[in-house]
Chain A
Amino acid sequence: MYTVELNNVRKSFGTYVAVDDLSFKIAPGTMFGLLGPNGAGKTSTIRMMMGITMPDSGEVKMLGAPFTGSVLKRIGYLPEERGLYPKMKVIDQLVFIAELHGLSPAEARRRAQNWGERLEIAQAYPKKTNELSKGMQQKIQFISTLMHEPEFIIMDEPFSGLDPVNSRLLEDVLVDLCKQGRTVLFSTHRMDQVEKLCDNICLVNKGKAVLSGNLREIKKRYGHNRVQIAFDGQQNGHSLQGNPLASKVETNEGYISVELAPNASAQQLLKEVSAQSAISRFEVMEPSLEEIFIDVVGKTDA
């Protein structure tokens, strides 16, 4: 059973196709990254998972069954656009949303208090929402998403507006929840966070999945075609210019960065370079997700 299963989902608004033949699966207990540039169709995809809109064709399965409204009580959704009543007291707001999810007021209060202490925001509870900073509101919204202990948590840009300390606080919560067996979906274009947190990703562009699967495998698949070399002494990369193994050589402070030519292996390069000079560091670099993102999106846009 998958937490989410999308099969050939398509959604258009008038002539504009927001999601085009999209399929992916999210396994329980994993963190999944839904990536893509602005306007790629991430939010449209999430809205279909939440039953806010219906797909034109294709199938959306949630928690093992085709979408029904009753599944929503088991999902926590943090939308990208913040939604809190500006003039309502924070604690009343949290209790209200939790009650809508079926909790008793007493239980809602107890959980709100626990979360408030954990996220260091309980002191803001008696205030009105519009008296809080953006980051604080973000934390409150984050709590409201988790009050009913959902099995599946959707986070649309959860860390925007947060400083690194608070961002870290929320990350830890999500990692904990994931360890407890809950499934988390991130929708973001912040690659560093995805790289740090996610097991699997799906990269969408213009409504289509352009890359999906296990993050480590994708990186491996994208190949290790970049090598960083640091030399003992003043030797620099000039000797590598024109070498058929290197298609591109960049000289940086203290090291050189080499892009391997097609069919060239890092081992061959190591042999050649070490024959010429003393090496203090030779490292095969994994491509960063950001590089992959830019590469893939660039290619599909072209």
Chain B
Amino acid sequence: MRKFTFRNMWLVAKREYLERVKTKAFLILTLLTPVLIFAMGIGPSMIMMSKSNGTRHLVVVAPDAELASAVKKNLETPPDETNNSPKDSTKDAKDAKAADNSAASTRQIADIAGLKFTAETSTDLSDSNKAALEASIDKKQIDGFLWLDPAATSQHSIPYIAASTTDFLEIQTIRNAAREALMANEFQKSGINADRLHDLLKPYDLDATNWVQGKAKKAGDIQFWSVFILGFAMYMVTIFYGMNVLRAVIAEKTSRIMEVLLSTVTPSELLGGKIFGVAAVGLTQVLIWFAAGAIAAAPGAFTLSNMIRQANFTILTGVYFAVFFLLGYLLYSSLCAALGSTVNSEQEAQQFQFVVMLPLIFSFFFMLKAARVPNDPLIVGLSFFPLSSPLVMYARVVLGAAPLWQILLSIGILLVSVAAIIWLCARIYRIGVLMYGKKPTLPEIIKWIRYA
């Protein structure tokens, strides 16, 4: 056989890359996907948030006037739990601050949803008043009323009767307003200064430090995110561009360009070039998307860039991310190429697609396990096994659980595996490609590998 040259592989890769990047489909997909990501990430919340408007007119009925007016105040100027600056005009703001530790404060929710409340207060908890209020809902004089009956509130239940109870943002705002007031009231009764309320209720964070070989490392969710992103990115890109590699391999079979090409390039050059060329297209697209994601980083929305920011990459983690992503991607792309070299048509290939995707899906689960128990013997083993190592080893690297020699060994095994798969499927390809029309049996494939 002729000697493998990188020049020819480069030429094949260049052609595959340029021919793909120049197509309209690439342009459309590249432009459209960030729009879709943006739309999926932010769109629904924007649509959801902007739905309700107008002012709700409520009646607050409580056993004592003080509680009723506290609720009224909270409704008309919703407390901002996350902001404790003294500039805040609401007196209650400070007291209420820690009561709700969700990301968005009651005020933010109310602001986003465009909710405004006006409230009247009452201390009449009689059945006749309740009937009268219900009647005024029917007459559309009020939108609803809060019935702070001590029998219910002592059971941590806040009865709310209204014409519409479907808008969960509205419900949440009302619940928070009532809850703040009730809690402040209870604290006051127990002799605790309501001003200390938010301090008392502030949750405690576990400040975990990972002690590895004499060095302290900060642990946390942050690292889990980068592992998750790697797994997700690899999965998506492999599904999409792995199939493109497969299609590129089949393309030569169906158009019979093969015979011309095989007289100038070796199958290894051709397959290697195809894998690298199509992989480069995928990377180009992913980079464009990441860039677009970073630009489109909208406040508060769960965009990709937000995740990256949260992942808090160090340079070394970034390098490992790139290395394991590239190697994993190449490995799965070459598996797709191998699949493409044994089948005759795309339809046929689709039946066997799961054979390639299955190890990736399994690795994904093991990666999640690795993020939890990085030194489990099974996980350590899988961090060397080429099909799972890109994800599992990366998880271990991020958690600081893998010594350098293990990382390098894993990378080495991956490199050798990619080369071996390309070499192996070059052999299958070489013969399979020229045996048009006939589907090879497994013994035949094995024979082909041995042949030539």
Residues in chain A within 8 A of chain B (CB atoms): 47, 50-54, 68-70, 72-73, 75, 77, 79, 81-88, 92, 96-97, 99-101, 141, 144
Which single member of A69, A85, A97 contacts B3 (CB below 8 Å)?
Answer: A69
CA distance A121 to B259 in the complex (A): 24
Q: Tell whether B91 is near chain A: CB-to-CB under 8 Å.
A: no
Of B260-268, B324-332, B336-344, B354-362, the segment with at least 4 beta carbons within 8 Å of chain A is B260-268
Does B15 have its Cβ within 8 Å of any Cβ on chain A? yes
Which residue of chain A has its CB nearest to the CB of B18?
A92
Asked if residues B255 and A72 are in contact (CB atoms below 8 Å), the reply is: no
Cross-interface CB contact of A97 among B1, B19, B264, B452, cutoff 8 Å: B264
Chain B residue contacts of A70, Cβ below 8 A: 2
Query: Which residues on B are within 8 Å of A, measured CB to CB?
Result: 1-3, 8, 11-12, 15, 19, 23, 251, 255-266, 434, 452
Inter-subunit contact A83/B264 (CB<8 Å) = no
**A96 and B452: CB pair below 8 A?**
no
19 new A-B contacts at CB < 8 Å, known A50-B259, A83-B261, A85-B19: A47-B259, A50-B263, A52-B259, A54-B452, A69-B2, A70-B2, A72-B263, A72-B264, A73-B264, A77-B260, A79-B259, A79-B260, A81-B256, A83-B255, A83-B256, A84-B257, A87-B19, A100-B11, A144-B260
* B431 shortest CB reach to chain A, Å: 8
Within 8 Å CB of A68, what residues of B? 2
CB neighbours (8 Å) of A92 from chain B are 15
Which A residues are in CB contact (< 8 Å) with B452?
A: 54
Chain A's closest residue to B452 (CB) is A54
For B260, the chain A residues whose CB sits under 8 A away are 77, 79, 83, 97, 141, 144
Residue pair B259, A88 in contact (C-beta under 8 Å): no
Q: Chain B nearest CB: distance from A88 CB in Å?
A: 6
Residues of B within 8 A of A87 (CB): 19, 23
Shortest distance between the CB of B219 and any CB in chain A (Å): 51
Cβ of A69 and Cβ of B259 under 8 Å apart?
Answer: no
Contact A75 B257, CB 8 Å, known A52-B434, A96-B11: no
Within 8 Å CB of A83, what residues of B? 255-261
Residues of chain B within 8 A (CB-CB) of A53 are 434
A84→B255 contact, CB < 8 A: yes
- CA distance in complex: A141, B434 (Å): 20
Write out the residue numbers on chain A whose beta carbons fall within 8 Å of the beta carbon of B259.
47, 50, 52, 77, 79, 81, 83
Interchain nearest-CB distance for A26 vs B (Å): 18
Q: Name the distance in Å between A69's Cβ and chain B's nearest Cβ.
A: 3
In the A-B complex, the 4 residue pairs with the smallest Cβ-Cβ separation, listed nearest first, are A69-B2, A83-B257, A81-B256, A100-B264
Q: Is the CB of A96 within 8 A of B256?
A: no
- Determine whether the beta carbon of B257 is less than 8 Å from that of A69: no
Could you tell me if A69 and B1 are in contact, using CB atoms closer than 8 angstroms?
yes
A9 to B324, CA, bound (A): 49
Can you list 28 A-B contacts with CB-CB less than 8 angstroms, sorted by A residue number?
A47-B259, A50-B262, A51-B263, A52-B262, A53-B434, A68-B2, A69-B1, A75-B263, A77-B259, A77-B263, A79-B259, A83-B259, A83-B260, A84-B255, A85-B19, A85-B251, A85-B255, A86-B255, A87-B19, A88-B19, A92-B15, A96-B11, A96-B15, A99-B11, A100-B11, A100-B12, A100-B261, A101-B264
In the bound complex, CA of A1 to CA of B116 (Å) = 99
Check A69–B256 contact: CB distance below 8 A: no
Q: Which residues of A contact B255 (CB under 8 A)?
A: 83-86
**Would you call B264 and A82 a contact (CB within 8 A)?**
no
> Across the two chains, which residue of chain B brings its CB closest to A105?
B11
- Given known A69-B1, A69-B3, A87-B19, contact A52–B257 (CB-CB < 8 A): no
For residue B47, give the distance in angstroms from its CB to the closest CB of chain A.
Answer: 40
Q: Is B266's CB under 8 angstroms from A69's CB?
A: yes
The answer to whether A100 touches B265 (Cβ under 8 A) is yes
Give, as a whole number of angstroms, the nearest-CB distance from A224 to chain B.
Answer: 42
